[in-house]
Amino acid sequence: MSQNPILQLQNLSAAYGQSQVLWDIDLNLLPNHAMGLIGRNGVGKSTLLQTIMGTHKVHGGTVIFDGEDVTSLPAHLRARAGIAIVPQGRHIFPHLTVLENLETGLSARGDRGNGKLPEYIFDLFPKLKDVRSRNGGFLSGGEQQQLAIGRALAGSPKLLLLDEPTEGIQPNVVQQIEAAIHTIKTELKVSVLMVEQRIEVVWNIADQFTAMQEGKIILQDDIANMSAEDASNIVRI
């Protein structure tokens, strides 16, 4: 029996003022799947994630999450429904401790949380437990990324939107982030839609990819159907 998508985008468009940047976006993401969003700088990948989260206004079309039309819901109600985002650049709070940063994520699901951080955050990122009393600003780039992902997971989302999770991260730490995203999908059963410039990362952990060019989708397929090299050549045309 086929599964219902956790996320369905239908004919979605977005604009900055008079300038339209997304056109006719159709996308289906299945539960417990990971999809990589690839394309050159400026093609609209971040805008697409923000439009799904509700932090950027939908210009036209529909966002259906977990069977509900959330197109007109503000971001905090989409968060309550179970969408979480880790923004590009991480945006952790440098003057709050690691624990305080994580606790800011608890409010996302409203009264569904019991005020306690889920233990799986520290199972996933044991280092965060070691540095829990340190200010976020003192962490390395990789640790800050773990913190940003952990904060998003604090609200027990069903869908995690990741905007360039390996950007600015040392190559040896990229593998740890990859492993964490794999665990988030397979063990925590959270669906993942990730923008990622390192195409090999997408090929290591995603099930599908969506390639964008100039605000439109030009190709969507299972990872298994195409090599990373071929996909890379297509999006760089």
Task: Indicate which single residue of 7, 23, 27, 44 sits in contact with ligand ATP (rule: CB under 6 A).
Answer: 44
The site for ligand ATP, by CB under 6 A, has a size of: 11
**Does 21 interact with ligand ATP (rule: CB under 6 A)?**
yes
Determine, following the binding rule CB under 6 A, whether residue 25 of this chain makes contact with ligand ATP: no
Q: Is residue 47 near ligand ATP by the rule CB under 6 A? A: yes
Taking the C-alpha atoms of residue 172 and residue 204, their distance in angstroms, rounded to an integer, is: 15
At 117, list the tokens.
Answer: 């951080």
Closest among 64, 19, 22 to 215, alpha carbons compared: 22
C-alpha distances (whole Å) from 128 to each of 35, 63, 133, 143, 184 are 26, 34, 9, 7, 16
**Token pair for 213:** 């060019």
Stretch that binds ligand ATP, among 44-52, 108-116, 133-141, 148-156 (CB under 6 A): 44-52
Q: Is 45 in the site for ligand ATP (CB under 6 A)?
A: yes
- In single-letter form, the type of residue at position 38 comes to I
CB nearer to ligand ATP: give 135 or 197.
197
19 vs 172 by CB, closer to ligand ATP: 19
Is residue 46 at the binding interface for ligand ATP, with CB under 6 A as the rule?
yes
CB neighbours of residue 4 within 10 Å = 12
Closest separation in Å from C-beta 78 to ligand ATP: 18
Q: Do the beta carbons of residue 150 and residue 128 sit within 8 Å?
A: yes
The reply on whether position 18 binds ligand ATP by CB under 6 A is no
Encoded tokens for 234 = 């297509």
Of 165, 178, 80, which Cα lies nearest the Cα of 124?
178
Closest distance of CB 143 from ligand ATP, Å: 23
For residue 58, which amino acid is it?
Answer: V
* Window of 39-47, 58-66, 120-128, 169-177 that interacts with ligand ATP by CB under 6 A: 39-47
Max Cα–Cα distance, the chain, nearest Å: 50
CB of 35 vs ligand ATP, minimal distance in Å: 15
Q: Decide if residue 57 touches ligand ATP (CB under 6 A).
A: no
- Give the residue, chosen from 41, 114, 133, 172, that forms a contact with ligand ATP under the rule CB under 6 A: 41
Where in 75-134 is the site for ligand ATP (CB under 6 A)? 88
Residue type, 86: V
Q: Which DSSP string do the residues of 99-142 spell out, in sequence order?
A: HHHHHHGGGGGGGGS-SS--THHHHH-HHHHHTTTSBGGGS-HH
Segment near ligand ATP (CB under 6 A); pick from 23-31, 37-45, 105-113, 229-237: 37-45
Which residues of this chain interact with ligand ATP, rule CB under 6 A? 16, 21, 39, 41-47, 88
